Amino acid sequence: MSDIISDFTSVIHREPYPAISPLRAELSQAGRNVLITGGSLGVGKAMARNFMLASAAHVIITARRLDVLKTAAAELEEEAKQAKSPTKFIVKTCDMSKIEELNALWDDLKAEGIFVDVLISNAVKYSKEGEIFDIGVGEVWSQFEANVRGPLILVDRFYKQDGEKQKVSVTVSL
Ligand SMILES: NC(=O)c1ccc[n+]([C@@H]2O[C@H](COP(=O)([O-])OP(=O)(O)OC[C@H]3O[C@@H](n4cnc5c(N)ncnc54)[C@H](OP(=O)(O)O)[C@@H]3O)[C@@H](O)[C@H]2O)c1
């Protein structure tokens, strides 16, 4: 990556630093279930790893490709063993642009008795860059389906889970 020149960011962190370390007792996620969309790669997978280090009970990672999810979960499970973390990983396929898949995800979790305490809405659909009229109405609309309607359904189902427990929702922005 090229050097970033900024007047207001004097220090750039590339790893979790002590103040936000997932190993801090007061940041423990013990007993919590965490759902991370787009958890098989990149930022989502890194968050899954850190919730595991913070001892979450379950980390549910979702994405479209099952094979990539399974590979990520296997790697994270191995890391959990090394770290002596109690975290169990669950993989679920779910395309953020498909209403029925989003609802099936929450229906499955409910049927399995899993209450999600922390929702990380991280997966997004990118289209090629360009003028809206070059990209095309259909493609632009598909971004709204995946990046606006999808997260809205996620949050709706998250808040409407049975039970009065405290819930935390985080959106990773474009
Ligand atoms: N990387 C950066 O430098 C950066 C900077 C600022 C913000 N962000 C934000 O961080 C988030 C993640 O970015 P990333 O760079 O980590 O992305 P990434 O490495 O490309 O990973 C994307 C993840 O989302 C899943 N995904 C993609 N489209 C999906 C869809 N339609 N439905 C469900 N899952 C889908 C992918 O799996 P499948 O393809 O199998 O579905 C994968 O797990 C995004 O919100 C991005 O805007 C990233």
User: Does position 11 have pLDDT exceeding 90, yes or no?
Assistant: no
What atom of ligand 1 comes closest to residue 122's alpha carbon? 45
Asked whether 34 and 56 are in contact (CB, 8 A), the reply is yes
Confidence of residue 63 (pLDDT cuts 50, 70, 90): very high
Is the pTM higher than 0.85? The answer reads: yes
Mean pLDDT check: name the lowest of 2-11, 57-66, 120-129, 141-150. Answer: 2-11
Is residue 122 within 6 Å of ligand 1 at its C-beta?
yes
User: Ligand 1 centroid vs 134 CA: distance in angstroms?
Assistant: 23
Q: What is the mean pLDDT of the chain?
A: 94
Confidence of residue 8 (pLDDT cuts 50, 70, 90): confident
Mean pLDDT of 33-56: 98
Cβ-based neighbours of 59, under 8 Å, separated by 6 or more: 33, 34, 36, 39, 48, 51, 52, 76, 87, 88, 89, 90
User: Ligand 1 centroid vs 41 CA: distance in angstroms?
Assistant: 7
Token pair belonging to 36: 């991370």
What atom of ligand 1 comes closest to residue 96's alpha carbon? 32
Is residue 65 within 6 Å of ligand 1 at its C-beta?
yes
